[in-house]
Amino acid sequence: MILHVPQVLTREQVRMCRSLLQSAAWVDGRVTAGGQSGLAKRNLQLAEDSPQAAQLGEMVLGALASHPIFMSAALPLKVYPPLFNRYGVGMAFGDHIDNAIRTSPLTGARYRTDLSATLFLSGPDEYEGGELVIDDGPEPRRIKLAAGDMVLYPATTVHRVEPVRSGERWASFFWVESMVGDEVQRALLYRLDRAIASVRGDVGDTHPGAIALTGAYHNLVRMWADL
């Protein structure tokens, strides 16, 4: 399931990110790439141990924790500390698949990458090219979202960032280890959760049907969650 998660960051938060990133020191983006993906990666990245990365990462994590769509779709157990990148003219990231396990160089904590996330910090009118392209079915999905919006997608997919032709593309990216590792089960729970929210809006929280559906949802989570 590829999901557009709107307004993860407010306009003011996006401005704060951009202001801090403007003055930050950037490094070669290949520092976090695996051997194969490193051959295809041409961008700049904020060093993971920089003070700006720590400050902005905490802000992103706080925003995610209060976003109902993200929490429902990801069912997060752990979120890798958000990273930040930028693509200038001619920069791109060719076809690759994310590593199954990521290890934080700061803490040594390991994360299973069930979901990948790209949180856009540049608006689509600020750069040409730079689309995130995800191979999903017969036709690839080409994604370019408003600043502050995020796309959440299975880390099992082959994906790429097209070359930037003008301007700059800024984003945060990270991975999620979900309580429910199975993609099909996780997608089913998301759709059920959204349906329950709609039913509760129509008939109220205490309606027997709403209670029964909520119970079914939580029993499935109990069955499938791996903590």
pLDDT, residue 25, reads 87
* 141-160 pLDDT per residue, tens: 999 999 999 999 999 999 99
- What is the pTM assigned to this prediction? 0.93
Q: What confidence category does residue 166 fall into, taking pLDDT thresholds of 50, 70 and 90?
A: very high
Domains, the chain:
3-178 (2.60.120.620), 183-224 (4.10.860)
pLDDT, residue 224, reads 98
DSSP track, 187-222: HHHHHHHHHHHHHHHHH-TTSHHHHHHHHHHHHHHH
At 225, the amino acid letter reads A
Beta pairing class for 44-46 and 159-161:
unpaired
pLDDT-above-70 percentage for the chain: 96
Identify whether the C-beta of residue 113 lies closer than 8 Å to the C-beta of residue 98.
yes
pLDDT, residue 31, reads 73
Average pLDDT over residues 181-186: 97
b or e along 186-216 (b: 16 or more beta carbons within 10 Å of the residue's beta carbon)? bebbbebbeebeebbeeeeeeeeebeebbee
